[in-house]
C-alpha cells in the first residue's frame, strides 16, 4: 500500500471513486464528473485542483482531491479537502489516514496554516475517523451553497 501524488494515468480511477463516493453519500444523480473534466482540472494549462491517490496491489483504491483556500486572518493559504474516499474493503487499513497525513505534510512543507473539509452530519464513521486524527469540528459555522437556478437568478442581477 502506498500514497502518492496523482498522475494523468490515475484520472479514470479517480472519477470512478468520486462516483462511488456520491453513491455512498446518497446523491449519485448529483455527480456528473467526467474524466475529461477531472483531467483538465488537475493537469490542464492552469490547474487549480490537486490530488493524492492510495494504491493497493497496483490499483488506485482511494483518493484525496483538494484545492487551495486562503485565510485572511492567518495571511496564508490552506488546503481544502474536497473529497476523501477509500474503497470500503480497504477502510481501516490505514490508507485514509495516510492520505490525510500526506495533505498535512504538504501543508507543513508549504507553510500553509490548515487543512479543512466538511462531512455530512449523518456520516458517523467518518466523523469518528476525523476526530481520531485530532481534527476539531467547526460546528459554530453553517455551510451555504448557491447553485442551479438560484445561482443563475442572482447572477442575472449583477451589473
User: 135 to each of 115, 118, 119, 125, 147, how far by Cα in Å?
Assistant: 9, 11, 12, 14, 29
Q: What are phi and psi of 51, to 5 degrees?
A: -155, 150
Q: Where are the beta strands (DSSP E) in 6-108?
A: 50-56, 59-71, 76-86
- Residue 63 — φ and ψ, nearest 5°? -155, 155
Is residue 85 among the annotated active site residues? no
CA distance 105 to 109: 6
Residues 114, 72: Cα–Cα separation, whole Å: 12
**Catalytic site residue from 85, 112, 130, 144:** 130
Active site (catalytic) residues: 130
Amino acid at each position: 500500500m502506498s500514497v502518492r501524488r496523482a498522475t494523468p494515468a490515475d484520472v479514470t480511477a479517480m472519477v470512478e471513486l468520486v462516483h462511488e463516493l456520491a453513491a455512498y453519500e446518497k446523491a449519485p444523480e448529483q455527480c456528473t464528473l467526467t474524466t475529461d473534466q477531472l483531467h483538465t482540472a488537475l493537469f490542464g494549462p492552469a490547474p487549480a485542483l490537486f490530488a493524492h491517490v492510495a494504491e493497493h496491489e497496483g490499483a488506485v483504491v482511494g483518493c484525496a482531491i483538494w484545492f487551495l483556500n486562503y485565510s485572511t486572518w492567518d495571511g496564508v493559504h490552506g488546503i481544502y479537502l474536497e473529497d476523501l474516499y477509500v474503497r470500503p474493503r480497504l477502510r481501516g487499513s490505514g490508507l485514509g489516514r495516510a492520505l490525510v497525513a500526506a495533505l498535512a505534510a504538504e501543508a507543513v512543507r508549504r507553510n500553509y496554516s490548515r487543512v479543512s473539509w466538511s462531512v455530512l452530519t449523518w456520516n458517523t464513521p467518518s466523523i469518528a475517523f476525523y476526530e481520531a486524527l485530532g481534527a476539531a469540528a467547526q460546528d459554530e459555522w453553517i455551510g451555504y451553497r448557491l447553485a442551479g437556478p438560484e445561482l443563475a437568478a442572482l447572477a442575472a442581477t449583477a451589473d
